[in-house]
């Protein structure tokens, strides 16, 4: 079922429309519209022992894991982003930071940092990250008095005393590192990073994004107090949002949103911010499947709705550069709010995969946009979202898309392409061709042979051309190798990070 709103694609493109409206379209502005990246948003892995784990999670369905031999780490190279211009978020309250950890078979009673697992916070005066406003990193040692913890335990800055950063929004930049020393053994899982105002203090601490490490690369989620990490989660967690293999429209994964608290307000899954041109139409396309809606006859009544919000921005950065929102459009999939939507979202407990596509127009001054997949305040139940695309509809873009789609039939050969751009700073796109369905692993190594990122980890992908964005924000300048393994084939290419 295809829903059209102000449909304007020329007749010359109709023969290729099925290929054009996919997450893998050669002109899709989203780098992870199919949720297949295999990487957590904003976190970069280093060392062989750093994995995005499905096996343990405090809030469904992932955690960051460190194990194996030698050093390993997960790093959020920049914690000041999106609508948070600095930390704290406004006034300057006392803040509490930390995360939840679970240990399994770790070495006990470590005597030095090489034997420890640690969570490290660094707050800087500006984006150059040269001046630490606290004078030194804030280090929380993971408990290693016993080999294993009894479930998840809080690792909190409260053990170190009050934390107040000097000045309003004193930290214009922040870095978070979850690290394993070279001689530490066993496994530690980290979940639900939190940032909150201390009890009795007034003001807003700000937000960590992808705090529950369930968002796939470039996406983040929001609900009330989403980065507060309260002790009673997941039981009282308002919504569950996670990349899942429970269902998918294409590929292996989709985004799952489940209402977990009938009293919850609303939630959104937010895409990366992508470049647009004011006045030039943009096609937004996506697939949705619903399950277990308790009162389907009320879908479309007031805020009992799902849909999207397209937002326009005067910059592409957000965070310390300023949020920059200058307008937007809500499109609900049922009810009088958007009477143009044809057909409406059906009033059924569960549905199959349903395709929606809308044309929207960037407002004056817009240079960027983002897409929010949305539960309004009264919608209950579970949804799966997949194959999300933002596609420019200018004449030139359409012409390019049609030509590229014509060339994007099932590849005849296995091929790893040169990344583009190259050299790059800090992101680049890696493309590869699969002539048959394959189990794919795509990894990045430095010249010492150390794995610094895993982009696909034994993911089953169909015969197709695949693209993935690599973000090297947390890595130093230099030459890197990226290696593709697909079934019994392996190829390696070089790329250069130049900061």
Query: Over the stretch 310-366, which tens digit does the pLDDT of each residue have?
Result: 999 999 999 999 999 999 989 998 876 665 565 578 899 999 999 888 888 999 999
Intervals of CATH 2.60.120.260 along the chain: 1-41+218-408, 45-214
Structure tokens at 178: 């979850």
Pick the CATH number of 45-214 from 2.60.120.260, 1.20.120.1730, 3.40.50.1100, 2.70.98.30: 2.60.120.260
The predicted model gives 462-468 an average pLDDT of 87
* pLDDT, tens digit (0-9, with 9 covering 90-100), for 10-43: 333 333 455 566 777 768 899 999 999 999 999 9
Query: In the prediction, which pLDDT does 380 show?
Result: 95
Question: What are the distances in angstroms from CA 119 to CA 113, 179, 188, 190?
Answer: 11, 6, 11, 9
Question: Cβ atoms within 10 A of the Cβ of 403, count?
Answer: 12
Top-tier CATH class for 1-41+218-408: mainly beta
Q: What average pLDDT does range 83-87 have in this prediction?
A: 93
Looking at the chain, the whole-number percentage of residues with pLDDT higher than 90 is 67
Per residue in 379-428, pLDDT tens? 999 999 999 999 988 745 555 544 554 444 577 788 898 888 888 888 88
The answer to pTM > 0.85 is no
Q: Tens digits of per-residue pLDDT, 220-271?
A: 999 998 998 889 999 999 999 999 999 999 999 999 999 999 888 999 999 9
| Residues near 465 by beta carbon (within 8 Å), at least 6 away in sequence | 24, 408, 411, 431, 432, 433, 434
Tokens matching residue 281 = 């139409």
Helices (H) and strands (E) in the chain, counts: 2, 29
CATH architecture of the domain 415-497 equals Sandwich (2.60)
Q: State residue 117's pLDDT score.
A: 98
d(CA 358, CA 344): 13
pLDDT over threshold 50, residue 120: yes
DSSP letter for each residue of 13-39: GGGGHHHHTSTT-TT-S-S-TTS---S
Measuring CA to CA, which residue among 369, 352, 372 is closest to residue 361?
369
- Where are the CATH 2.60.40.1930 domain residues in the chain? 415-497
């Amino acid at each position: 079922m295809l829903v059209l709103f102000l449909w304007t694609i020329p007749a010359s493109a109709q023969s290729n429309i099925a290929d054009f409206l996919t997450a893998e379209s050669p002109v899709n502005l989203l780098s992870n519209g199919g949720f297949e990246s295999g990487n957590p948003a904003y976190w970069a892995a280093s060392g062989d022992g750093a994995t995005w784990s499905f096996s343990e999670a405090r809030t469904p369905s992932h955690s960051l894991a460190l194990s194996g031999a030698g050093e390993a780490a997960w790093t959020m190279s920049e914690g000041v982003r999106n609508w948070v211009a600095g930390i704290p978020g406004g006034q300057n309250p006392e803040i509490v930071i930390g995360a939840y950890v679970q240990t399994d078979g770790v070495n006990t009673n470590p005597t030095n940092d090489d034997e420890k697992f640690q969570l490290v916070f660094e707050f800087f005066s500006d984006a150059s990250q040269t001046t630490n406003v606290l004078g030194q990193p804030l280090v929380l040692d993971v408990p290693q008095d016993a080999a294993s913890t009894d479930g998840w335990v809080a690792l909190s800055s409260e053990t170190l005393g009050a934390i107040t950063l000097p000045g309003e929004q004193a930290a214009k930049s922040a870095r978070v590192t979850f690290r394993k020393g070279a001689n530490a053994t066993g496994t530690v899982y980290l979940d639900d990073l939190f940032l909150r105002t201390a009890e009795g203090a007034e003001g807003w601490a700000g937000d960590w994004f992808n705090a529950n490490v369930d968002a796939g690369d470039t996406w983040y989620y929001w609900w009330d107090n989403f980065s507060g990490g309260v002790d009673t989660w997941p039981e009282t967690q308002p919504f569950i949002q996670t990349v899942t293999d429970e269902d998918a429209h294409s590929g292996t994964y989709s985004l799952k949103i489940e209402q977990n608290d009938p009293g919850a307000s609303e939630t959104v899954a937010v895409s990366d911010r992508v470049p647009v041109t004011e006045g030039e139409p943009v096609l937004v396309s996506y697939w949705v499947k619903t399950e277990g809606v308790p009162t389907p006859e009320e879908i479309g009544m007031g805020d009992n709705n799902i849909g999207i919000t397209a937002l326009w921005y005067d910059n592409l950065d957000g965070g310390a550069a300023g949020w920059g929102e200058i307008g937007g459009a809500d499109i609900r999939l049922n009810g009088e709010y958007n009477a143009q939507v044809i057909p409406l979202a059906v009033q059924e407990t569960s549905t199959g995969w349903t395709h929606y596509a809308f044309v929207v127009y960037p407002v004056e001054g817009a240079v960027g946009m983002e897409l929010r997949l949305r539960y309004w305040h009264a919608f209950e139940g579970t949804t799966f979202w997949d194959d999300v695309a933002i596609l420019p509809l200018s004449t030139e873009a359409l012409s390019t898309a049609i030509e590229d789609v014509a060339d994007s039939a099932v590849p005849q050969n296995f091929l790893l392409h040169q990344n583009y751009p190259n050299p790059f700073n800090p992101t680049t796109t890696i493309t590869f061709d699969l002539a048959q369905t394959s189990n794919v692993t795509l990894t990045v190594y430095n010249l010492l042979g150390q794995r610094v990122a895993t982009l696909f980890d034994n993911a089953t992908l169909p015969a197709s051309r695949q693209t993935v964005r690599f973000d090297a924000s947390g890595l130093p300048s230099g030459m890197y190798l990226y290696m593709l393994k697909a079934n019994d084939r392996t190829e390696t290419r070089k790329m250069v990070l130049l900061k």
